[in-house]
Structure 1
Amino acid sequence: MDAFETRIIAVVADELGIPEAEVTERSQFADDFGMDTFAVAGLALRVSEEFEVALSHDDIEAFDTVRDLIDAVRELAPQAS
């Protein structure tokens, strides 16, 4: 895991109020954290602000796992390159 992924995991953990160790790239928002679409959208908004990217509604609806979020942000974030 690189620094970029670690930073996103830290934001996810902070948003959920859980230890970072409980969040992995394979963690599923609904199954592992009980998040509904609105909660995932709120998390995506926070991540988009943190990384200064614009995630589309379609992107957000497709997020099932933390890896999905990481990959979407990595595509858009200049600091991820």
Structure 2
Amino acid sequence: MSTTAAKVKKIVVEQLGVPEDQVTEDAKFIDDLGADSLDQVELVMAFEEEFGSDIPDEDAEKLTT
């Protein structure tokens, strides 16, 4: 697993409180991991902070996995 993928996985586990083995590249935030719209916003904010970049709202809305 690449360093970037490991960081993303760690953020998802911490933000959603799910077991690490449930976080796969194909897992959908809402359908598989139980995220709601607030969780998605918090994930985007955590990704932006970790990677030092901005994710435009229109792109953030498309993040599902």
The normalised TM-score by structure 2 is 0.86
RMSD between aligned alpha carbons?
Answer: 1.2
More helix by share: 1
Query: Which amino acid in structure 1 is aligned with residue 63 of structure 2?
Result: F
CA distance in 1: counterparts of 2:13 and 2:57, whole angstroms: 22
Which aligned segments of 4 or more residues in structure 1 are displaced greater than 6 angstroms?
Answer: none
Structure 2's unaligned 5+ residue stretches are none
Structure 1 alignment gaps of length 5 or more: 66-81
Could you tell me the TM-score, scaled by structure 1's length? 0.71
Larger mean CA deviation between 2-11 and 34-43 belongs to 34-43
Q: Percent identity?
A: 32
Number of aligned positions between the proteins: 65
Shift of 1:38: 2.4
